């Protein structure tokens, strides 16, 4: 189902799904409003949707909240959001904290805490079955698309420099 062709209908369906409790719908509405995908940009509304998804554990939304705070110059809040999602195993969040550390916007202790939390989260999810499933998924994905990690829709990299 390609909802990008009919944005008003997409918003209607995502809103209905969000009202029914879909965390992914909150995430998608956040993307649509924050970036103005097919509509006028409304960053505060986008952040509000991501906040709702993040509070329910949606890790990409938590990372994106960090991105929004970073762009608004709220570096301490950005670090807090990135710390939470890094500790949930979100690699981009860990990289974002690393870049902020390089730019003296995060402390060495914060980066170390995020790194340890990230490693713990990744370690907790390891199993032979999961590794096999990840390899199969990776193989299928790369047969279908040559999309790079940086080009994945919905994953923000702040590339702080």
Is residue 45 one of the residues assigned to a domain?
yes
When pLDDT is averaged across residues 140-156 and rounded to a whole number, the result is 45
Is residue 39 one of the residues assigned to a domain?
yes
Structural domains in the chain (count): 1
88 neighbors 121 (Cβ within 8 angstroms): yes
Residue 43: which domain range? 1-56
Is residue 15 one of the residues assigned to a domain?
yes
Is residue 67 one of the residues assigned to a domain?
no
Is residue 6 one of the residues assigned to a domain?
yes
Q: Which of 14-18, 49-53, 74-78, 137-141 has the least mean pLDDT?
A: 137-141
pTM, rounded to two decimals: 0.77
C-alpha torsion 104→110→112→117, nearest 10 = -140
Is residue 19 one of the residues assigned to a domain?
yes
Q: Is 21 left (phi over 0), alpha (psi -120 to 50) or beta?
A: left
Is residue 147 one of the residues assigned to a domain?
no
Is residue 22 one of the residues assigned to a domain?
yes
Q: Which of 59-63, 72-76, 121-125 has the least mean pLDDT?
A: 121-125
């Amino acid at each position: 189902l390609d909802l990008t062709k009919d944005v008003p209908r997409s918003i209607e369906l995502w809103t209905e799904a969000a009202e029914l409790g879909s965390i992914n719908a909150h995430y998608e509405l956040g993307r649509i409003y924050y970036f103005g995908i097919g509509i006028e940009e409304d960053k505060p509304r986008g952040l509000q949707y991501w906040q709702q998804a993040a509070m329910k554990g949606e890790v990409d939304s938590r990372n994106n909240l960090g991105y929004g705070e970073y762009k608004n110059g709220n570096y301490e809040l950005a670090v807090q959001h990135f710390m939470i999602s890094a500790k949930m195993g979100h690699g981009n969040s860990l990289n974002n904290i690393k870049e902020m550390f390089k730019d003296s916007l995060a402390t060495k202790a914060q980066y170390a805490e995020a790194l340890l939390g990230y490693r713990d989260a990744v370690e907790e999810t390891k199993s032979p079955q999961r590794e096999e499933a990840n390899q199969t998924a990776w193989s299928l994905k790369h047969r279908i698309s040559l999309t790079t990690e940086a080009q994945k829709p919905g994953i923000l990299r702040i590339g702080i420099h």
